[in-house]
Amino acid sequence: MKTNARRTRTRARAFTLLEVLMVVIIIGLLAAFVVPNLWDVEGKQRTKLAQAAVDSGLSGTLDLYRAAMGRYPTTDEGLIALYQPPDDEYVKTILDQNIEGERCAISYYNDLMKKTKDTDIITYNMVLSILSQEVEHEEDLQALLEDLELMVQRR
Ligand SMILES: [Fe+2]
């Protein structure tokens, strides 16, 4: 009886090779599933951050770049191109022309609003909406021109 009780106690303290092997296999399986998921979470977070950056204003910056350059930056140029002064000496001229075009549109829609103010409320509201967009365009281009001048000064 004493020997059986001692044997049982001894068994309870030690792990068999099979138990150790099972634990190693379980840890291996967990690592195989969890580690790639952790890496994937990091990748997903980067994607979300990039998407948030695009949503929160980079798309506007890209549009302004396109307005100034006539195209988006290439993959080789990367997004850093948005923050570097352009080499093309006509960018400022094109920006000036676009700003002048927006001011011309603003002036035209202001006149049209005056003409339709008390006579045609539907046209008036449409023109009011378009006018606010034109003012926004002019402000965006003006801001881009100011950024361009700062970039050129720092060069
Ligand atoms: Fe416009």
Q: Give CATH for domain 85-155.
A: 1.20.1260.10
Cβ < 5 A residues, ion ligand 1: 134, 137
Predicted local confidence at residue 45, as pLDDT: 74
DSSP annotation of 55 = I
- Asked if 55 and 105 touch (Cβ cutoff 8 Å), the reply is no
Predicted local confidence at residue 109, as pLDDT: 97
Distance CA 71, CA 73 (A): 7
**Structural domain spans, the chain:** 85-155
Q: 134 CA to middle of ligand 1, Å?
A: 4
Question: 108-140, pLDDT tens digit by residue?
Answer: 999 999 999 999 999 999 999 999 999 999 998
pTM as predicted: 0.52
Q: 112 CA to middle of ligand 1, Å?
A: 16
Q: 51 CA to middle of ligand 1, Å?
A: 26
